[in-house]
């Protein structure tokens, strides 16, 4: 937040707030679109629907939602260190200082993406590129 606030950004066009992504507040304005990049893979699968419902409450009817994230590529992606009881997958990451950390990193399939938004969205489009995937949709009214 400190770095973002240090940028020359017009305060009439953007504001910075720290909120709980799974319990977003009701805001006085609604947005015509929502974008999240490299977020989905860091969320626990069992919490995705809760997040999406909170996210959708911030949007106007007919808004477009777009998610972009990493696709798993054998030989390029870091191998999984384990899978937990909720089917979330983890990787071991080594930082420049030599420390290692286990991080949550899910790589959903097209069918998993569609199943997650099935009851919440319409006009669902999924595209897999070599290293990334793109999910776009319009939230169903009230979802």
Question: Exposed/middle/buried for 127, CB within 10 Å: 0-12, 13-18, 19+?
Answer: exposed
Per-residue confidence of the chain (143 residues) as pLDDT tens digits? 899 889 999 888 888 889 998 888 888 889 999 999 999 999 999 999 999 999 999 999 999 999 999 999 999 999 999 999 999 999 999 999 999 999 999 999 999 999 999 999 999 999 999 999 999 999 998 77
Domain count, the chain: 1
Q: Say which CATH number the domain at 125 has.
A: 3.40.50.150
Q: How far apart are CA 14 and CA 18, in angstroms?
A: 13
Output DSSP code: residue 38: S
Q: How far apart are CA 55 and CA 39, in angstroms?
A: 13
Task: For residue 138, give the 3-state DSSP assignment.
Answer: strand
For residue 63, give its domain range: 32-74+108-139
**Is the residue at 114 inside a domain?**
yes
Output DSSP code: residue 91: E
**pTM of structure:** 0.88
**Is the residue at 60 inside a domain?**
yes
């Amino acid at each position: 937040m400190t770095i973002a606030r240090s940028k020359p950004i017009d305060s009439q066009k953007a504001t910075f707030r720290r909120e709980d992504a799974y319990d977003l507040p009701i805001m006085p304005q609604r947005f015509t679109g929502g974008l999240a990049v490299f977020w989905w893979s860091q969320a626990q699968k069992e919490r995705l629907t809760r997040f999406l419902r909170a996210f959708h409450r911030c949007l106007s009817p007919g808004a477009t939602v777009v998610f972009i994230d990493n696709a798993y590529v054998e030989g390029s992606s870091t191998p999984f260190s384990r899978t937990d009881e909720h089917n979330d997958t983890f990787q071991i990451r080594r930082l420049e200082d030599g420390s290692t950390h286990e991080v949550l990193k899910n790589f959903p399939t097209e069918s998993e993406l569609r199943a997650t938004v099935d009851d919440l969205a319409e006009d669902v489009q999924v595209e897999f590129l070599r290293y990334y995937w793109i999910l776009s949709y319009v939230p169903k009214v009230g979802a």
